[in-house]
Amino acid sequence: MSASQPSATAPPAVDPRFDLLETTMKRLGYSKSALIEILHSAQEVFGYLPNELLTHVAKRLKLPPSQVYGVATFYHQFSFTPLGEHICTVCMGTPCYVKRAEDIINQIQATFKVAPGETSADGKLSVRAARCVGSCGLAPVVIIDSTVIGKESPEAIVGRLQTLLQTPQEVAR
Domain boundary among 74, 104, 120: 74
Q: What is the CATH number of the domain that holds 100?
A: 3.40.30.10
Give kind and range of the element (H or E) at residue 119. Answer: strand 118-119
- Specify whether 158 is located in the same domain as 104: yes
Instruction: Please confirm whether the linkage preceding 140 is cis (ω < 30° from 0).
Output: yes
Burial class (CB in 10 A: 0-12, 13-18, 19+), 128: buried
Give the pLDDT band of residue 76 (cuts 50, 70, 90): confident
Is the model's pTM score more than 0.85? no
pLDDT at 150: 98
Cα 142 to Cα 88: distance, rounded to the nearest angstrom: 7
In 28-136, alpha helices (H)? 35-46, 51-61, 65-74, 94-98, 101-112
When pLDDT is averaged across residues 36-65 and rounded to a whole number, the result is 95
pLDDT tens, residue by residue, 87-110: 999 999 999 999 999 999 999 999
Domain boundary among 41, 74, 107: 74
- Specify whether 145 is located in the same domain as 94: yes
Q: Is residue 80 part of a domain?
A: no
Rounded to a whole number of angstroms, the distance between the first and last alpha carbons of the chain is 20
pLDDT at 172: 38
Predicted confidence (pLDDT) at residue 2 exceeds the cutoff of 60: no
The parent domain of residue 100 ranges over 86-166
Domain count, the chain: 2
Q: Is residue 122 part of a domain?
A: yes
